[in-house]
Structure 1
């Protein structure tokens, strides 16, 4: 079953088109990487999934139900981790999760059981200090626990590893991988190595369009016997100078011989405002 479906999603701010007909499908119990540079439209898409922003065109379905702007009915299926989670800093982790359970109107015994389970899962079981003394990584881990508390069918994470050090990133990715056993996860990022480590599927958003999507294994293996043709938007020499395994076909087209470098090339193009018009 598909837990999330996005069909022909469009959004513009004044004269700037941010999303230009995005289609995306996420299967249950998978981790889906939503990749693109900062400002590509990832956060805008996630706000629309949460019903917090109105689309200009298109439809979104969560667990088979249509998302409607201003109506939080579908949010009962969703847990959300923003890029910078906010807490009541005078509480400790256990107190904060207890509050999450009370807001969800869970029974006291169930709150305690779920709190114990999640604190253990995110590595905060023995932590007694107040949240104000937490590192960024600890706050992200607590944010995951809070987002998972009511057992959502879909966990949305917006750039969850962007400001973490390598150890913090590794810990959080391991937590998300473990969380896949009980939910579906979509997380936005501009760090492709994180996607390759834990994701089952991915979509690459560039200039408001999905330019590459599918299972990670298929993307890595696809066309090993054939070839990828990349429209370089006139940046052939620059790309050839940075990456090995590219051969010039025309002024605007390159043949990628080593398909394993595709994700790195797309990341470089995105970060340097080079638009891959076709792949």
Structure 2
């Protein structure tokens, strides 16, 4: 299938701190991709580089086949939902989407039809209150509509459920599930149950590298050749293999100096992801 995003050997340093260390992954068209890592793992840094808002020190990023250059216009292909979206509080939902559509240089008729469609999708059609009086969950849903107004090929969601209550989280996840197949979604989070609920595939970011990646069906069931994990160093692999009960849950075969092949016996994806993150 066609790749919408390809990240290759990406590096980023802030002073003496290496945040991304040869990061590589790709995202297939029409899928929901979970980008998992602990707070401070480098998820937001990666997304800012993909958006062209931050300059990488090395490596490359391609979106829809075009190389991303700092400050360049490739982000016209991308919609972005930050963890805490900001709005003009005096505006109303339809008014705000009209403003966003105008910024994207859409014609008035398309803005109107697209706004109605998206406000219906996020449950805000007909809501005529000022955005300043919205709950956190309502603002997050409006943020999804804003990010989709120009029909992006790629939607980047940075921790979109992290500060929401359970009903708010469910609403956002159901919206993202509803657009699967229409728009490619990258969904960063440290909430593992959210990944299992809506993602087709996932990657775990640890110490600036991908520690684990694959389709969720394969991670759950250990089908085929299993899941390949490449650790940053041999000591990390040894610590992983010595975790309590790991041998009872997964068949683990070492490969090379730092890798393993994991096949699930009776473990679940959330447990495996948590073990890799830690």
Sort the TM-score into its range (normalised by shorter chain): 0.7 to 0.9
> Alignment length, in residue pairs?
264
- Alignment match, 1:81: 81
- Alignment match, 1:191: 191
- Alignment match, 2:208: 208
- Alignment match, 2:268: 261
Does 2:136 match 1:136? yes
* TM-score (norm. length: structure 2): 0.86
Gaps of 5+ in 1: 275-279
Distance 1:246 1:30, change over 3 A: closer
Three-state SS of the structure 2 residue aligned to 1:75 is helix
Question: For residues 1-279 of structure 1, what are the structure 2 equivalents within 5 Å?
Answer: 1-71=2-72, 73-222=73-222, 231=237, 233=239, 236=242, 239-240=243-244, 245=249, 258-267=265-274, 270=277, 274=278
Separation (CA, whole Å) in 2 of partners of 1:131 and 1:227: 45
* TM-score (norm. length: structure 1): 0.86
Three-state SS of the structure 1 residue aligned to 2:268 is helix
Three-state SS of the structure 2 residue aligned to 1:24 is strand
How far the C-alpha of 1:182 sits from its partner, in A, is: 2.0
Cα offsets for 1:122-155 (capped at 9, x unmatched): 0001312111111111111000000000000000
How far the C-alpha of 1:83 sits from its partner, in A, is: 0.6
Distance 1:222 1:86, change over 3 A: same
Gaps of 5+ in 2: 230-235, 254-259
What is the CA RMSD across the aligned residues, in angstroms?
A: 2.8
Separation (CA, whole Å) in 2 of partners of 1:217 and 1:34: 16
Separation (CA, whole Å) in 2 of partners of 1:15 and 1:60: 23
Cα offsets for 1:168-211 (capped at 9, x unmatched): 11111110111223211001000111111111111111111101
How far the C-alpha of 1:245 sits from its partner, in A, is: 4.2
Distance 1:121 1:234, change over 3 A: closer
- Answer with 105-114 or 39-48: which moved more: 105-114
Three-state SS of the structure 1 residue aligned to 2:217 is helix
Distance 1:215 1:225, change over 3 A: closer
Separation (CA, whole Å) in 1 of partners of 2:157 and 2:224: 32
- Alignment match, 1:277: none
